[in-house]
Amino acid sequence: MSDAPSSDSQSARGWELLPVLAALGLNAVAHNRWLLCVPVAGLLVAAVALRFRPEHSSRRLLLSAGVGTGLGALMLLWGAVPTPIPPVMMSPLCGALVGLSAFCALSGRRFYAVTYALILTALSSAVPDSRGTYLGLLAVVVSLLVSAFGHGRMGRSGVAGAVGFGAFVLLTVGATFGMGRAIRMSEGMLTEALFRMSSYAPKVTTLMPRDITLERHARLPETGRLLFELRGAKPALLRTAVLDTFDGTRWTTSSALEEQRLDPVPPRADETLRETELTVLEPLGPALPAPAGTRAVAGVNAQARGAWVWRANRLQEGTVTLKHEAREQLPSEPAPGAALTLLPEELRAELRPLALEITRGATTPREKARKLEAWFRDNYEYSLSVNLQGEGSPLAVLIREKRPAWCVYFASAMAALLRTLDVPARVTGGFVPEEQNPFSDAFLVRDRDAHAWVEVYLEDEGRFVPFDPTPWRSRETIQAQYSPGALKNAWQAAASFVRRGLSRLMTSPLEALGAMAKHPLTWLVAAALLAWRGLSRYWLKRASQPKAAMRGTDPQLTAAHARYLRTLRGAGFTPGPAETDDELLSRLRAARGENVARAAEEFITLYRRARYGSGPVDAASLGALTAALERTLRSERPHA
């Protein structure tokens, strides 16, 4: 932004000061900074009246920011209003902006001054509602419009300018209200989206919400996100939440159930329990999926709460072992009170005739529950979208008109119908593990495996017994569309193997190493490595000797040859760079006689055999030949 010094006209400078003065006023009102803003505003007005204009320079600008920061920090002594930014930062920041805008306004940098003033306005407006704040904002708005009118010199355009600017103001007002309304309507969405984008946001998966509202028109998002996998004994149902309170459209978990702590019977030494290993792949939140009859949980600090729902803290990753009875049934407990048969009277009146008609002929709670379960399974279709618009409550529409829905609706309807017949019933949420990875044999549990069913208290058994009214035939048709391919399964199995291995290594390294040592694959790999090592050594050793000789890397040979050359050089026979051994021998024969040449020839023959032949040669014999050559050279006089 280029910002040339503005005119010296007193009135023009006065107009330019307006947004700065308004921003100072807003800061004083909103942040209770009268002690800072009022003197600064007074100084500004006085400086304009006295035609004082300091020179603009970077150093002075920094100085003004520094002084403002210091004064802003000092203002903390007089308290601070609650703002989203901590006061320790907010107060000095606002102080700096006050200093910067005031100095720029004084030195004639009007656009910089307005920029700092608007940023100050934005910071000042981040406070709770108050009349003073809105009045301050209004002052800033008006000053900005006046500035725009003055800066554009709209007065010079006469009527056209006035009309055009008037239209602009009207449009601005309209757009402001429209924008404000749009933001209020989407309140929280933007913030939530931003926090979702942030990697710091905790990714808590709500497996089964604590409350379920039965909407008349809704759609279930179908996601295939992998949440956890199971190894070992496969449970039929994994429970995560029990909803026992119903107000007609909303199921919730009562606080009594939520706060109740239960102590399962610890496993006896002679007792054989089934074990299911649960590997968490996505953060699960507090709910720990566990089958009915779970007696103990290893690998995490877990607690059984009311209705035998297990809770664990910070279950984000790792592997948990569930120890449960072979028969998945809840422990016996006394009959529940009237709370589990409560329904709004209108709903009871609406549903009871339907319930009586469906359960005609059934006398016991078990029979009633079975009849209702079968009725839902036989007469309904599973669907991921539901439309229950019509006369009466959503459940009445669902039951009367047999509209398609998903598990939560069927479970709610069955539980409500049972309650109208005074049979204690509640809705239970959790997962049904179905998908198995053929490569790892693990059961994969995804978002879409979430399920809801009904638990009915049967007096003859003295416990709650699950009934599932969901029509599985049509649900399976939908589920079949999402079966993953072989490649995806293989990749998932490999990733899972690595993840589990690392997890075990981190949590219990000795156990993990022990398991690895016991694994037959480990022994197979170790045997293969040993075999390869032994064979390679054998082959390398056989091949290495001649190859080393060919390369001249045998140190004994190299030393013997060096000694031979040294001997010849000592006698004045330095081999030429292109001279062959035979030529050297001829030269020796001519110069020093046959004996010397023969001694050298013997060495060179043996050396060649050692270097280029395949047979082993004793280095000592080469040394002896060199010594013989030295002796011969000493004894044989050079030819004249």
Partner 1 sequence: MPRRHWSFWMPPEEHRFIRYFSDLYRGLLTPLGQTLLWGTGAAALMMLWGLRPAIAFFAFCTGMMLGALVVGLPFRPRLALTRRLPPPVSAGDTLRYQVVVENPGRRAARKVVVEELGLRPELRPVGEPTVIESLGPGERVEVTLSLDCKARGAYELPRLQASSFFPSALVKWPRRAPGKDRLLVYPRFTPLAGFDVPHGRNHQPGGIPVASSVGESTELAGTREWREGDRTRDIHWPSLARTGRLVVKEFQEEYFVRLAMVLDVESRSAQDDALFERSLSLAAGIADVLARQEYIIDLFAAGSQVFHFQAGRALAHFEHILEILACLEPEDRLDVGALESVLLPEASRLSAVILVMMDWDEQRAALIQKLKQHGVAVRVLSVRPGRRPEGLAPDEVVELP
Nearest in space to 434 (alpha carbons), one of 168, 280, 234, 190: 234
Q: Which helix (H) or strand (E) holds 102?
A: helix 87-106
CA 304, chain centre distance (Å): 28
Alpha carbon distance 163, 168 (integer Å) = 9
Alpha carbon distance 456, 462 (integer Å) = 10
DSSP 639: P
Alpha carbon distance 423, 416 (integer Å) = 9
Query: What does the block give as tokens for 526?
Result: 């170790």
In sign, the C-alpha dihedral spanning 14, 18, 24, 28 is positive
Alpha carbon distance 352, 165 (integer Å) = 68
Alpha carbon distance 558, 34 (integer Å) = 95
Pairing of strands 443-446, 435-436: antiparallel
Coil, strand, or helix at residue 276? strand
Count of CB atoms within 10 A of residue 200's CB?
Answer: 5
Query: What does the block give as tokens for 396?
Result: 């009445």
Q: Which is nearer to partner 1, 73 or 118 (CB)?
A: 118
Q: Which is nearer to partner 1, 83 or 428 (CB)?
A: 83
Alpha carbon distance 300, 298 (integer Å) = 6
Angle at 14 between CA 13 and CA 18, to 5 degrees: 115
Alpha carbon distance 33, 75 (integer Å) = 7
The amino acid present at 500, given as its one-letter code, is: R
Residues 226 and 444 sit within 8 Å (Cβ to Cβ): yes
Q: Which is nearer to partner 1, 44 or 120 (CB)?
A: 120
Which residues would be at the binding site for partner 1 (CB under 8 A)?
1-4, 30, 84, 111, 114-115, 118-119, 121-123, 125-130, 133-134, 137, 140-141, 144, 147-149, 151-154, 156-157, 160-161, 163-165, 167-169, 171-180, 183-184, 187-188, 190-191, 194
Give Cβ neighbours of residue 360 (< 8 Å, ≥ 6 apart).
none
Q: Which is nearer to partner 1, 16 or 449 (CB)?
A: 16
Residues pairing with 465 in the sheet:
456
Give the E-state strand segments of 130-281 in sequence order: 211-213, 217-219, 226-232, 238-243, 245-246, 250-252, 261-262, 274-280
CB of 409 to partner 1, least distance (A): 34
